[in-house]
Structure 1
Amino acid sequence: MFMYSDKNLKESDFQVVDNKKLDAENLCGSGLLHYFTDLRVKGNLKDCGCQGDEIDDSTLSTYKTCQNSYNGLYLNNVTSKDLSPLENIMQVKGIIDISNTDIENLSFLKNLVTFKYRNQETKERISFNLQNNPKMTRFGMPVLSVIHNTEVERSDGPEEGIVLFNFENLHPDFCLTVNEILLFLELNVTFRNLNAKICDVSQEILSEPSVCKFETLEKLHSECIFVIGDVVIDSENEHDIINVGNVYYIFGSLTIKNTKLQSLAYFFNLLAIVHLGNPFLKSKV
């Protein structure tokens, strides 16, 4: 059995509801159903997960045993300060949408490892939305490591869609850590909006030989893979450009001006420049 989506990529309506003698615990992962994220399986003798689109202040406490959330995870206009009932969720299938709340960070999803969404073709569809949360200062999902489009599992499926996130209208000091940014880069996450800074870099991270805070091009050593700061190359230091040969990521900006350089081949290892515009969150003393 295979169910096709409509022109807006909305999945077919599939419900297995209120069958008091039915053990549906393994239903959602069986056969071709494991491609789908918006399955509604509830009220049976055993269900394959909980329904993440039914969370509000009155139902929140019923999610204490939830490990797998289907139909995404929606926290819209939730006012509860205690989100601990969601801390056992290990997998979300479907869209994550957290909006119009006073939530400060997502650390309550401390066991969420896997986020699976379904995006077909190249139509723009936001899979993870953080929007209009004016007190949110951190992302803070400590073990998230898998972000996966179930559509790519189909050998006969249409072209894979992009991994599209939206982080918009959060606290002015909302920031991402270096490790969080690296995770998004590794998993090819694209942002419609990214209203964020880079969190203040801890001394623990800076103690790693591969991480360097940019001071001068001359001081950039050969082990430096991650450069934090605004890199400027000009007529005064262009003779030291060979020092960028092992740099993979720049967290800041890159400016090359007033030089006599004939090639930028020295940057042959550079994979990405993460520039958020005046991006660094300063420590508060």
Structure 2
Amino acid sequence: MKSRRYSKIWQPYPAGYDLREHISQIFQFSVRTPKMTRFRLILTYGLTILNNSQLTNVTFISELELHTDEQTHECSFQIENNEKLDAGKLCSTTQLNGMFRVRVSGNSKNCGCNGYQINTDTLHTFLKCKVTYGLVLTNITESDLSALSNIKEVRGLVDIQMTNLKNLSVLRNLKEIYSKNGEFNENVCFNVQNNPEMTRLAMPALKELFDAQLGPFIMNLRDLHPEFCITYDEMKLFMEKRVYFINIDAKYCTEDNLTIGAGDEGFVVKLTKVSHLFGSLTIRNTLLEDIEFLSQLEFIAVLDNVDVIQIVSNQNLNFVYFPWMSVIITRYNRTVVIDKNPKLTSPELSIFNVQYATRIAIVGDSLGKGFLPENI
């Protein structure tokens, strides 16, 4: 059947009303056959089924192909206040899998939870929630948030602001956060801001931070307790999930900068398998000829106010290259200093893979004018 673009609000029907018959009239073909004919329903503006006191099932939804907006791949899907309707398994259907704007509530059985409506009055309703559409905690000073402890997946914005929380351990079972930024949007997906008592994240189960449209997953950690710190395991997750930070007002719970100096040349072989560096890198006053021992280094995250990398005064050094570098996270400046290495003189020196856009300023007398393009 030819597809058509359609947006409809189903409002109350009298007792015994045959919703399938109404759909048949709308789409002008019979749905009374033993197996409903499959057709395509393009939901750009959304589907709403509200306040139908006699409605007992919406199984027809499983026979639809839902085609959404081409840019956001999303539409509003609202099934609420149908007091006899069992919608307990609706959110797990193929049609709704991956949708973020699903609202199913006020029915005899519901699925999913609207995380944009968490407050003192609604908190108890989240006790059985495993999937929420968004998770917003603002202006909450509750001492007991244990009703949120069973949440395992969030689809949409996580926004924690203006609370007295010391950490997010109440979300100890949260494993996955999914956003829908897409290629051209830069919306914050995980915002933790203006929580002056927060010293840790403490979300041990968190394993996935992902944009469902392959756009950037963006975090903001700002205006927290002065002692707020991030563990190496947490930073490792942020690195490997390619998280972008608007702000990262944090320090490491333990610091671990890497400094290679005079006399350390015989020990660098121990670094050949290092892929993650939690702190800055300094190579100074050595007799090294190259840095091949760091060829596996892929991730660097620096939270101190220091240069990301310093390679200075190495008399025999003639080659510097990080072939696998793919993520550099910093709280402050993003500067690499390569200076006073007399055998490293090429003005066209490239230290990163050409496919990696670093947004790094590279300075030093070995590089002619002292700066290279951002996307070297």
TM-score of the aligned structures, taking structure 1 as reference length: 0.77
1:35-46 aligned at under 5 Å gives the runs 35-46=98-109
**Does structure 1 residue 112 correspond to structure 2 residue 174?**
yes
Determine if the alignment matches structure 1 residue 198 to structure 2 residue 261. no
The residue type equivalent to 2:276 in the other structure is: Y
In structure 2, the residue corresponding to 1:62 is in which secondary structure? helix
Shift of 1:28: 2.3
2:278 pairs with one of 243, 251, 276: 251
Find 2:129's aligned residue among 55, 59, 66: 66
Pick which of 239-248 and 264-273 moved more: 239-248
Structure-2 residue corresponding to 1:275: 302
1:96 matched to which residue of 2? 158
The 1:120–1:29 alpha-carbon spacing in structure 2 relative to 1, beyond 3 Å, is farther
In 1, Cα distance between equivalents of 2:91 and 2:182:
20
Contact kept, 8 Å, 2:182 with 2:212, in 1: the verdict is: no
Pick from 93, 96, 112 the counterpart of residue 49 of structure 1.
Answer: 112
Query: Are positions 1:4 and 2:58 aligned together?
Result: no
Secondary structure of the 1:266 match is helix
Q: CA deviation digits over 1:105-141, x for unaligned, max 9?
A: 1111122222222221142121111011010001011
Provide the alpha-carbon RMSD of the alignment: 2.2
> Which of 210, 220, 242 is 2:269 aligned to?
242
Identity %: 40
Encode CA deviations 1:46-99: one digit per residue, 9 max, x unaligned.
1112110001122212222222212x0000111211111111212211111001
* Structure 2: runs of 5+ lacking an equivalent: 1-65, 307-376
Structure 1 residues 266 and 173: CA distance shift in structure 2, 3 A:
same
- Radius of gyration: which is bigger? 2
Q: 2:292 aligns with which of 262, 265, 273?
A: 265
- Give the Å deviation of 1:11: 4.2
Match of 2:222 among 168, 174, 188: 168
Select between 43-52 and 259-268 the one with higher mean Cα deviation.
259-268
Matched, 1:143 2:205: yes
2:108 is paired with a residue whose SS is coil
Task: Tell me the equivalent position of 1:30.
Answer: 93
Task: Tell me if the contact between 1:36 and 1:118 (Cα under 8 Å) persists in the aligned partners.
Answer: no
Q: Distance between the aligned counterparts of 1:11 and 1:169, measured in 2?
A: 32
Q: Shift in Å at residue 5 of structure 1?
A: 6.8
Conservation of the 8 A alpha-carbon contact between 1:74 and 1:98: yes
- Counterpart-to-counterpart distance in 1, 2:88 and 2:188: 29
Q: Structure 1 residues 82, 5: CA separation in 2 closer, same or farther (over 3 Å shift)?
A: farther
Partner of 1:213: none
Aligned to 2:96, what secondary structure does the other structure show? helix
Checking the alignment, whether the CA contact within 8 Å between 1:107 and 1:141 is kept in structure 2 is yes
- Helix, strand or coil for the counterpart of 2:280? strand
Q: AA paired with 1:18?
A: N
| Number of residues of Structure 1 aligned to a counterpart in Structure 2 | 241
Q: Which runs of 4+ in 1 moved over 6 A?
A: none
Task: State TM-score, norm by structure 2.
Answer: 0.59
Q: Select between 9-18 and 173-182 the one with higher mean Cα deviation.
A: 9-18
Relative distance call for 1:5 and 1:98 in structure 2 (3 A) is: farther
